[in-house]
Amino acid sequence: MAREVAALGALILLAGCVADAPPRSASATPASSSERIVEPWKTDPFPSTYHAYPGVPTLITNVTIYDGEGGRIDGGSLLLADGKVQAVGRNISAPAGAIVIDGTGKWVTPGVIDVHSHLGDYPSPSVKALSDGNEATSPTTPEVWAEHSVWPQDPGFSRALMNGGVTTLQILPGSANLMGGRSVIVKNVYARTTQGMKFPGAPYGFKMACGENPKRVYGDKGREPSTRMGNIAVDRETWQQAVEYKRRWDKYEKDGGDPPSRSLAMDTLAGVLDGKILVHNHCYRADEMANVIDMSKEFGYHVTAFHHGVEAYKIADLLKANDICAVVWADWFGFKMESYDAIPENLAILQKTGTCAMIHSDDPNGIQRLNQEVAKAQAAGRRAGIMIPDEVAWEWLSINPAKALGLADRIGSLKPGKNADVVLWNGNPLSVYTRPDRVWIDGALMYDAHDPKRRPVSDFELGQPGEGDVK
């Protein structure tokens, strides 16, 4: 997705500036104070310290494989080694020293990716002291970063791994604010620090929200925005500042002189205008998504994905034409006014139209069953005459979310060379009766249903009754 971000208005706006600069990963060295500051939104002051855990070359045989990009192999084999997928096919021989797992009756898929989670910033237990998801003191807080709220000991991470096969997740700020702040993409691996979970080199996301939540939160405080028109007005005022901020920095890059004063809030927005930070916009209603699309063109940025797009099916063609992904639930509906028109065929209609679509959870329970949510959405489509094969429906959990995170070159499918994020399921993963049997992240076995030592227990649960879900 990242490579497409520079399209549209952004190109025009950035012409002659930095559009040709080689992309730098977010894990680049932090700018030290002695260097000349270059595009401060590209600095990486909280670099990932994640490393892949030790793995053993592993060959899984006799399994049904959904490769995550719409491919299916019956009676297939998968070889993992050195943290990467080495080979996928029918006849793969085990290298010396490899563990061989006979997967007869089982399925293999890429690890599940959830692009919308609040694990860590709204963790369990849900107490005030740990409520860190919404900096609801100003309608625009692009300066806050979700990673500074993430509690890496949230017990929810382990449930998502063991029950849901989730290997990568994007943790977002909440939706109280129009501009909620930066997201963080993490490996679903417990670590002592959030840096230890951060996906190395992943682009940042930027959380925005339309609709009921911002206008309710700030309307209740007696301030703008209290209406949908107020939502857009505050957004536009802020984007205009960002355009001017970026113009000052671009001029400085070109002409030198005194560096412009720096704003952390504007850095994030400049990063969006620069195509380096991907916009994830909470937006339920079709008409509001259309307003946001026009606004993005006005200021020269691209919306990567609309999240909670319960009315995406109404404008599937518009989303496709603008190269925007729809991120949706399978069947949540009617829990607020702007979700009143949700239908279970949403994903199927989007798929039929050729729109980039995917599932998401936004929920510490739902993240444990995203495979089941896909199964429901697929079945709803079938009954509406939209036939989507299992292996294609699985794209809603794999390559499509990988694209939306700007990580499709590394995760989201079982192509050789990609990260070995793999789930071995104990049956058909689109059945309600199926659970993960084993989960690998970067080739390391991080969950094994048969080995109590291969399941994580968070610090919080250690020494508490039961110590986690499997007691």
Partner 1 sequence: MKRLLLVAALLCGTAHADTIAITGGTIAIGDGSQPIPNGIVVIRDGRVVAAGANVAVPAGAQVIDAHGKWVAAGIVAGFSSEGIVDGEGIEETYDGAAGKSVFNAAIDVSTSINPTNQSIAVDRTWGVTRAVVSPEAGNSVFAGQGAVIDTGADDTPVSKARAFQYVELGEDGANRVGSRPAAYVMLHDALAAAKSATHQGGDTKNALITRVDAAALLPVVEGRMPLVVHVERASDILQVLSLKQAYPGLRLVLLGAAEGWMVAPRIAAAHVPVIAGALADLPEAFERTAATESNVGRMEKAGVTVAISTVDVSTEGGQRNLRQYAGNLVGIARVPGMTGLDWGTAFATISSRPAAILGLDNEIGSLRPGRRADVVIWDGDPLELSSAPVAVWIDGVAQPMTSRQTRLRDRYLNPQEGALPKAYEH
Q: Which is nearer to partner 1, 253 or 341 (CB)?
A: 341
* Site residues (CB under 8 A) for partner 1, limited to 154-173: 155-156, 159, 163
Name the residue type at position 381: G
Site residues (CB under 8 A) for partner 1, limited to 89-128:
124-127
143 or 448: whose CB is closer to partner 1? 448
Given candidates 110, 111, 165, 344, which one binds partner 1 under the rule CB under 8 A? 344
Q: Check binding of 466 to partner 1 (CB under 8 A).
A: yes
Nearer to partner 1, 345 or 421 (CB): 345
CB of 366 to partner 1, least distance (A): 6
Comparing CB distances to partner 1, the nearer of 144 and 342 is 342
The residue from 247, 248, 336, 454 that contacts partner 1 (CB under 8 A) is 336
User: Which residue in the set 131, 137, 240, 464 belongs to the binding site for partner 1 (CB under 8 A)?
Assistant: 464
State yes or no: residue 378 binds partner 1 (CB under 8 A): yes
Residues 137-156 that bind partner 1 (CB under 8 A): 155-156
Pick the piece of the chain touching partner 1 (CB under 8 A) from 1-9, 109-117, 342-350, 410-418.
342-350
Exactly one of 64, 183, 281, 368 binds partner 1 (CB under 8 A); that residue is 368
| Shortest distance in whole angstroms from residue 62 CB to partner 1 | 19
Q: Which stretch binds partner 1 (CB under 8 A): 68-76, 164-172, 200-208, 462-470?
A: 462-470
**Nearer of residues 241 and 426 to partner 1, judged by Cβ:** 426
Q: Candidates 114, 212, 267, 391: give the one binding partner 1 (CB under 8 A).
A: 212
Which residues inside 304-333 make contact with partner 1, applying CB under 8 A? 313-317, 329-333
Residue 131 as a binder of partner 1 (CB under 8 A): the answer is no
Q: Which is nearer to partner 1, 43 or 134 (CB)?
A: 134
Please identify which residue in 115, 434, 443, 445 interacts with partner 1, judged by CB under 8 A. 434
3-state SS string over the chain? CHHHHCCCHHHHHHCCCCCCCCCCCCCCCCCCCCCCCCCHHHCCCCCCCCCCCCCCCEEEEEEEEECCCCCEEEEEEEEEECCEEEEEECCCCCCCCCEEEECCCCEEEECEEEEEECCCCCCCCCCHHHCCCCCCCCCECCCCEHHHCCCCCCCHHHHHHHCCCEEEEEECCCCCCCEEEECEEEECCCCCCCCCCECCCCCCEEEEECCHHHHHHHHHCCCCCCCHHHHHHHHHHHHHHHHHHHHHHHHHHHHCCCCCCCCHHHHHHHHHHCCCCEEEEECCCHHHHHHHHHHHHHHCCCEEEEECCCCHHHHHHHHHHCCCEEEECCCCCCCCHHHCCCCCCHHHHHHHHCCCEEECCCCCCHHHHHHHHHHHHHHHHHHCCCCCCHHHHHHHHCHHHHHHCCCCCCCCCCCCCCECCEEEECCCCCCCCCCEEEEEECCEEEEECCCHHHCCCCCCCCCCCCCCCCC
- Interface residue list for partner 1 (CB under 8 A): 124-127, 155-156, 159, 163, 212, 313-317, 329-337, 339-345, 349, 353, 363-366, 368-369, 372, 375-376, 378-379, 382-385, 426, 430-435, 449-450, 452, 460-461, 464-466, 469-471
